[in-house]
Amino acid sequence: MSEYLLTVVVSGDGFIARSVGEPPQAWASVEEQELFFVDVEAADWAIMGRHTHEAADRPDRRRIVFSSKVSGWKRPSQLWVDPECLTPQMLPEQVCEVHALARGLILGGTRVHDWFLAHGAIDCVHLTVEPVRFGTGLSVFSDARSGDPVEEFTRRGFEIISEERLNSAGTRFLVLEPMSAGKDESSAHMAR
């Protein structure tokens, strides 16, 4: 069975970007980017929305791109799908002839996060909170109502497994899991 890790960097006031198409590397710390690439390398497939894909197009990466307008293989290792027609459990069969999907990496944006959350398919979260404030922007989840990014996860049933400070500026890295996941072996290996 496939596992899905959501890795996301947010501003201190809970935004994943100031506007559509803004890549995180424009404002995220070096330490966050290093952790991000560890997750990317460990994943079989990255799952993201069209805007996230276009903000950081990488033809060499295995990607499942969510789009309501386009579907099919756009590159040998990049499948575009309409998420309305699928569940997370169906994704592995969509890509298995190219490469198995045991570890999926959820990269966003907001609607992709919403989709996995609605299906109860976020097995682990790697959340980096940068000490910057945007004031407005794109939220982690579409119904976000708190300025606290950690609270946005805990109020949705996730618990903090670990937390560490990454640098002197105050960047925080947290690992969260669904409370129902417990501390069993299947979810523990997704934490760094």
pLDDT of 186 strictly over 90: no
Arithmetic mean of pLDDT, 167-171: 98
**Every domain of the chain and the residues it spans:** 3-180
pLDDT of residue 145: 87
Give 103-146 pLDDT, tens digit per residue: 999 999 999 999 999 999 999 999 999 999 999 999 999 999 88
Per-residue pLDDT at 55 exceeds 90: no
pLDDT in tens, 11-31: 999 999 999 988 898 999 999
Q: What is the pLDDT, as a whole number, of residue 165? A: 98
User: For residue 191, what pLDDT band results from cuts at 50, 70 and 90?
Assistant: low
Q: For the chain, what is the HEC assignment?
A: CCEEEEEEEEECCCEEECCCCCCHHHCCCHHHHHHHHHHHHHCCEEEEEHHHHHHCCCCCCCEEEECCCCCEEEECCEEEECHHHCCHHHHHHHHCCCCCCCEEEEEECHHHHHHHHHCCCCCEEEEEEECCCCCCCEECCCCCCCCCHHHHHHCCCEEEEEEEECCCCCCEEEEEEEHHHCCCHHHHCCCC
| pTM for this prediction | 0.92
Fold of 3-180: Dihydrofolate Reductase, subunit A (3.40.430)
